[in-house]
Amino acid sequence: MSQTARPTGSRAGSAARGVLGLVGGVVRLVTGLFATILVVHVVLRVLGANPDNTVSQLVAAGADGLTLGLRDLFVLGDPTVQVIVSYGLPALVWLLVGAVVVGILRLLGRPRSGLA
């Protein structure tokens, strides 16, 4: 066998790791995008963006759909703090979920030693 030839199992494992890496990248991208939408909504609200503006409405609609049921989980007296917590907490959860899923995919994609 030449040095360039690999056993079939090695190629299949390499292909599976490539797919898992691609899926991990997509998960990281999507969860990061979701968190970004939530943070942009917080920034727009805190800075007093016009709620009748199309961009502001689009971001608000997207953010409302990404709160994972955590919006208004805590009822706070200060409206600014309320917005930060109501949308910031779900942003952190999205980032955490993305990191956990990517970590699991990396574990699944690790080459096996063959000793087990």
Q: What is the pLDDT of residues 70-89, one digit of tens each?
A: 888 889 889 999 999 999 99
What would the mean pLDDT of 37-62 be, rounded to a whole number? 96
Question: What is the identity of the amino acid at 26?
Answer: V
Pairwise CA distance, residues 91 & 63, whole Å = 9
Residue 6 resides in a domain: no
Domain count, the chain: 1
pLDDT of residue 51: 93
Q: Would 16 be classed as within a structural domain?
A: no
The whole-angstrom separation of Cα 86 and Cα 72 is 5
Average pLDDT of every residue of the chain:
87
User: How confident is the model at residue 116, as a pLDDT?
Assistant: 53
Residue 62 belongs to some domain of the structure: yes
Domain membership flag for residue 114: no
Domain residues for the domain of 103 are 34-109
User: Is pTM, for the whole model, over 0.75?
Assistant: yes
